[in-house]
A and B are shown apart, each in its own frame.
Chain A
Amino acid sequence: MIGNHPIVAAALFAGAMLGVRGADAHAFLDHASPSVGSTVPSPPGAVTMWFTQQLEPAFTTATVTDNSGTNVDSAAAAVDPKDPTELRVPLKPLPPGTYTVTWHALSVDTHTTQGHFNFEVAGK
């Protein structure tokens, strides 16, 4: 009843579809505190990031480094249990300078994203 042709066509179609590749991207940074690219007058105690989707704590990380690439976070980044779109990294006391936040996020629909941004702590 089912001829050969539709099956072959469907198989070819499925094969062609398998060639399509996608970039992995999902939970994007919505905003952060200190805000992206901004200057703060006094050292913040933590960097907090808000994402566009809910995050998986087990596979979401963020690090903060100074100009020389040294880690300045005082503990691992943690997803807020009450608001799973919020990621927080506690910081050591920061001297004035420019700092880079690098994040890797896994959203609950199993997609990974990453990005980075700077902020500056003003001199006295």
Chain B
Amino acid sequence: MEDFLIAARAVHYASTISLAGVFAFLCLIAGPSASPRLCRRLSVLAWTSLVLALCSGGAWLLFVSTQMSGQSAADVVTQGVIGIVLNRTQFGEVWILRSGFAVILAVLLMMPHGWRGRSWRWTGLVFAASLLASLAWAGHGAATPGAPGDLHLAADVIHLLAAGAWVGSLVPLALSLAEARRNYDLGAISAARRVVVRFSVLAALSVVILFTAGLINTWFLAGTVPALIGTRYGHLLLLKIAIFIVMVVFGAVNLLRMAPRLSAGAGDRHRPVEAALGHLARNASIEALLGLCVLTIVAILGILPPGLHTEPGWPLPFRLELGALRPLANFELVIFSVLAGIFTVGGVATGAAGRYRAMTVVWAGVLVWVALAVFVVRPALEPAYPTSFFAPAEPYAAPSVARGAHIYAENCALCHGAGGKGDGPAAAALTIRPADLLEPHLFAHTPGDLFWLVSHGKGDGAMPGFAGTLSSADRWDVINFVRARGAGSLSHTVGPQISPLAAPPMPDFAFIEDGRQQTLAALEKTGPTLIVLFDAPPNAGRLARLTAARRMLTNAGVREVAIDLKPGPPPRTGSSPSLPLATVSPAVAATLQLFCAPGDGGETDLMLDRAGHPRARWSAKSAAGLPDADTLVADAAQVAQFPAAAESHAGHGG
């Protein structure tokens, strides 16, 4: 069924683009100069495109309805599922509207002698463009929520229209050039020259628009290098871009080498002119066929989950750790990329114009440039594994950490030690010492790196792989536990001064305050958060001070959560003011305990930034003592400057 859907989509894209292209060609390129014979041929092309668009649009609706409902095609038709799809989904609404556009276009095409009228042509262009552009509402852009969704949708619309203007008018261009070759008089040649020049302007404009809108779409749907080179979606997208570049090269050859020959030798028996017309038409046809390949890829991309939503399999043994490049900075990388892009365009243009010596020089420059870049970024290359960019399938949150703690005790503690310092009972007998999992180096690895090491082992079997014994979810749980414990242990070194360095983040957790369930992740979105952990029953005086501080913090926009990790009997009546202490489940309490040090004296305070990184830490026993409200408000203003967690396009779990 999926293959049929892809076929229907490909035919539909091609036919609606072709239909829009006919009118774009008539309005923007040929003008009134189109001969009656060419108009007849364009009319046939338009009718064919419209009929194909209607059939493939119907097939698309049918196949999508079967997918939505999970029923067979026959049931979808007889049981009224199509009616539900048409009436009650956005896809259906768009399809009804588009059917209207198609009917109007059919009426226009049926009007006799219409082809010469200016208003008729422009009406046709408007409706053919609407038929094409409205496809964006049936695509990925329509489902992105909020303002980014509007940008994505706008980029989709513009991308479709530019594709229609360029790719769609290739076949009409080839037809008109064939016409000029058939007539072959001075009038026909000068008309052809005009057509080629105008087409080239339109095509160049469209290429720039396609490139820009394509970049926006790529960012929305692939967004990261791993998603681009590590997923099937990304691979197809790269293939599409490669074919697009070949199409641009053909266009450049037409513009820079063939078009000038049309004006070259009207006197010398027209030979080069005739050959140039033939080359131009042939190149346009090849471009159109390549365009068909691109549209087939588009048809597949539309039903694949975008690259950001699938786990990228990293194909390289190394990855670029941009953090290691600080002195060089991203700005220089951008300049480098822009220059590399300009050189590449120069290489293509010189080649297309037939200036081969200049082309050789430019391409040699590109190679030297790339070699230089590799040399410069080499120190920032880190070892990587196929799963390096997998997002944890189990979210980094207390329930997973608590499960992971049990799995760790049963499978890992023997070598790595119950506390994780690499000093388990079996460690002494090993020639390679098990890794100390409390070292900050743990966080030089991505969660995906750790997933590979836990699954497949390390050091030629010194560490065994657990892919055969632990499920994928279990392995993610244990990784979340090891990272949470490492984060807890590293947080002990954070002092009472706001740290510009981000310590590893606290896992998300749920707590109950005032009878209502809340999560840390939701709080972080609003600003800095002060987490107060009571490992022992708090005394009344401390509670009174916290209650007073909370009022000031709330006014300053800082959330404070005081959590009783060991809830005992309620405090004696009358003695304590009403600071609502939050309560947590035993699993959450065990996770938060990782952030309390033994010498903390019963209370640990953590100031978290908007991404959950501890930026300052106080404890009841620390030399600086516990912070007062004024200090907290001042600190929070500073912490609010640190960035929030990157907004993920693809949420998993949570």
Contact = CB atoms under 8 A, between A and B. Distances in A.
Interface of A: 1-2, 6-7, 9-10, 13-14, 17-42, 44, 51-54, 56-59, 84-85, 106-112, 117, 120, 122
Interface stretch (B99-107, B286-294, B364-372, B497-505): B286-294
Nearest to A59: B68
A12 B7 CA distance: 13
Contact of A58 (B84, B515, B588): B84
B78 to A, nearest CB: 18
B649 A52 contact: yes
Contacts, number: 162
A21 B4 CA distance: 11
A95 B510 CA distance: 20
B187 to A, nearest CB: 22
A35 B10 CA distance: 41
Contact of B292 (A14, A26, A117): A14
A110 B69 CA distance: 11
A7 B142 contact: no
Contacts of B178: 1
B484 interface: no
Which 5 pairs of residues, A with B, have the shortest CB-CB distance? A37-B399, A30-B651, A22-B304, A38-B510, A39-B585
B654 A17 contact: no
Given A18-B7, A22-B305, A25-B309, A37 B397 contact: yes
Contact of A110 (B6, B64, B289, B650): B64
A108 B90 contact: yes
A6 B292 CA distance: 11
B521 A25 contact: no
Nearest to A55: B143
Nearest to A51: B651
Contact of B650 (A28, A56, A57): A28
Interface of B: 2-3, 6-7, 10, 64, 67-70, 84-85, 88-91, 138-145, 149, 174, 178, 232-233, 236, 278, 281-282, 285-286, 289, 292-293, 296-297, 299-300, 303-305, 309-310, 395, 397-400, 510, 512, 515, 517, 519, 521-522, 583, 585, 587-588, 649-654
B58 to A, nearest CB: 15
B292 A52 contact: no
A1 B2 CA distance: 34
8 contacts: A1-B278, A18-B7, A22-B303, A25-B305, A29-B653, A34-B510, A52-B145, A59-B68
Contacts of B67: 24, 110, 112
A26 B142 CA distance: 12
A110 B68 contact: yes
Given A29-B651, A33-B517, A110-B89, 15 more contacts: A7-B289, A18-B6, A22-B304, A25-B310, A28-B309, A28-B651, A32-B654, A35-B654, A36-B397, A84-B145, A108-B143, A109-B91, A109-B141, A110-B68, A112-B67
A59 B92 CA distance: 13
A54 to B, nearest CB: 5
Contact of A59 (B89, B174, B304, B397): B89
B90 A14 contact: no
Most chain-B CB neighbours within 10 Å: which of A10, A20, A23, A34?
A20
Contacts of A9: 289
Contacts of A53: 143-145
B301 to A, nearest CB: 9
B654 A112 contact: no
A33 B89 CA distance: 26
Say what secondary structure dominates the interface of chain A.
loop
B241 to A, nearest CB: 15
B282 A1 contact: yes
B229 to A, nearest CB: 17
Contacts of A27: 143
Contacts of A29: 651-654
A25 B233 CA distance: 12
Contacts of B521: 31
A58 B92 CA distance: 11
Nearest to A113: B305
A42 B559 CA distance: 24
Given A22-B232, A36-B399, A108-B91, A6 B286 contact: yes
B289 A36 contact: no
A108 B89 contact: yes
Nearest to B519: A35
Contacts of A39: 510, 585, 587
A1 B305 CA distance: 39
A2 B281 CA distance: 9
Contact of B69 (A20, A21, A59): A59
A26 B399 CA distance: 25
Contacts of B654: 29-32, 35-36
Contacts of A1: 174, 178, 278, 281-282, 285
Contacts of B174: 1
B515 A54 contact: no
Contacts of A57: 88
Contact of B68 (A2, A10, A41, A106): A106
Nearest to B3: A18
A59 B84 CA distance: 9
Nearest to A21: B2
B143 A109 contact: yes
A37 B400 contact: yes
A56 to B, nearest CB: 5
Given A34-B517, A59-B69, A52 B138 contact: no
Nearest to A13: B293
A17, A24, A30, A31 — most chain B CB neighbours (10 Å): A17
A51 B309 CA distance: 13
A14 B512 CA distance: 56
A30 to B, nearest CB: 4
B3 to A, nearest CB: 5
A20 B7 CA distance: 12
Contacts of B651: 28-31, 51-52
Contacts of B10: 14
Nearest to B175: A1
Contact of B138 (A41, A42, A110, A117): A110
Q: Report which residue of A54, A56, A106, A111 has the largest number of chain B beta carbons within 10 angstroms of its beta carbon.
A: A111
A44 B109 CA distance: 61
Given A18-B6, A28-B651, A35 B510 contact: yes
A39 B590 CA distance: 14
Nearest to A115: B653
A40 B510 CA distance: 9
A33 B522 CA distance: 11
Nearest to B512: A41
Contact of B289 (A10, A40, A54, A84): A10
A28 B297 CA distance: 24
Contacts of B653: 29, 36, 117
A54 B143 contact: yes
B145 A85 contact: yes
Nearest to B522: A31
Given A7-B289, A28-B309, A122-B585, A38 B90 contact: no
